[in-house]
Structure 1
């Protein structure tokens, strides 16, 4: 099926059909009357079947079944057409994108096969008395005019009446081109090509072995970019996004487990990037969190990635028995000399020392230090061992006295 973007390309096909149909009516007055019926919306949906185009046509409060009879093309004719289209990259791209190629409108480009039948090959039939006699009537003429308009946007109906669907024709061409390169897609008159057609050709081409190159020493193209016009992202933003995409791709290729990364963590990731703080007010409005909370989550992201950001907002839910075992490990640790270890809100806290560890979504323990009254700030040193995470919290506490 063709889209509206191919209407111009189908003009030769439409013109050829209009001429053949006009000649087939042999000067009958029904040609003009049928045009008026069509313009008044008398023709219902057109049905294409091998050898015929049919539709219900309503005139003078009566509905008649009008039919245009066309000869089907032979198998040899279809093979000839497919062979000629296989040598036309534009036609191949159209077919692979499930569009009827404009080349079929011109027998010279279609291996001498005319999709539009000659005038003497078009015959008429209708449920009205005139149509029963095999002559062109007002209703079949209206159908012919409707076909003219329909061909401009849906050329596949004529293919169907001639005995083959556009999909079947595409399959014929695809078989002829097995393991061959369809060539370069030519540009339109305005110098452009359709993205879906380019993709169709690329998907059909035989796979090539990737070049053996070392990507690490290559200078990223983003380093030479200039800032695009507002509101486009800055060149530096593009560089950061490119680097982030490269890091994620490298992690996938090296089978590194992906940490919990949802929309909120991704927002914090952007805020934690250079100059990301400029977006803090917008992020606060979007997430419903305060700027203070988001700032703390940015610190957590820098120390522990997405899981660190989530742990800053709230401790991950783990079984109470796991919390108790971790607390016991801390009590037995030499690092705990003073204070009382408490378990509250899913975290393990030593209020006297001003340190705390929280379980994260990544299965690690994330250290925190008391910043102000009931305000905890993330610290570096997240790890699987709760005792080691606790020691990291104490080191951070010693390096940063309690804020007043």
Structure 2
């Protein structure tokens, strides 16, 4: 039986924050603030609470399962007892969460490094356990008399975002269990999984026949010295190889487009040289292999290299695009290859976890200044009153678009945050 951590943990008051410095820097800290900002009915109270927190008005913060407490002072020195409540997990929810965390060694390592793996939060949400709070999950209580979030509860939430950045176990304590208990539970479950795997391996070994015993490792290593050395790596040719010409005395079949075939052969030679250059580059073995291109993506890549009008027309027909649509796809490809093309052509609806991270990124981008008014439709955020738009890629990067000729066209490469993407493409 594990010994529970103390049910309450107190963090000392934090000095006033430097102006311009955000309250949260991790994705889970931003998600916490998004829950506050999306829940409050009066944005003015939230902004005032942010000023309170920045000025150092929040005293020591007590964290316990299901709630936070602190004394928050008005500018005139009046003190207010302030609480924010949050729902604890049930035993069944804790079981599901801990099973998911113990199943991946990387999840445990990340938690011990004071990080929340986004994959763990996503898997938990899929299993019905919302690790991070959402709209309405932060229940404010303050003796100032406000029934919704007031400046005091908002200030407390902003202060807790700082604590969460430093120690995500604060969130787990709010959900009902302290750090020691969680770590002990994960250790027990990991050990149980390792024992089960060991027993399964022993059972499999017991069922082997003598012929399945294999070769002793010493013999294998001894034989390794007799093997010839690997040949040296090939040198990168200065230019792609030149495919043979198809311009012969024998006439081509009527349906064969000789120019197109020669172009494809030349493009294949150039692509082979590019891949060889990647394979010879330092650190290639440590990088994950790129996903193979689809036929549609490869057609756009080829079109970007093709100068012949007839070849480009045939590629457009092969991908069931008009010439104008294919030229737009080539423009997107030029800004970001396959991910840039996906930003142009995907009209997807992000998952709940993607939306949570997107909202946090948007909040962080304009934390201390007037944010632009953005209207979201699926994975696209359009700035009202301008011809600018942001699109969220599947890899979490933001792509700028602008309105030209009645359609949205890519206007630049992606950026890791929405503010950079929008600023890189000034309003037309």
Q: Same fold (TM over 0.5)?
A: no
Question: Which has the greater radius of gyration?
Answer: 1
Q: Which bin holds the TM-score, normalised by the shorter protein?
A: 0.3 to 0.5
TM-score, with length taken from structure 2 = 0.38
TM-score, with length taken from structure 1 = 0.39
Greater relative CO, 1 or 2 (CA 8 Å, sep 6+):
2
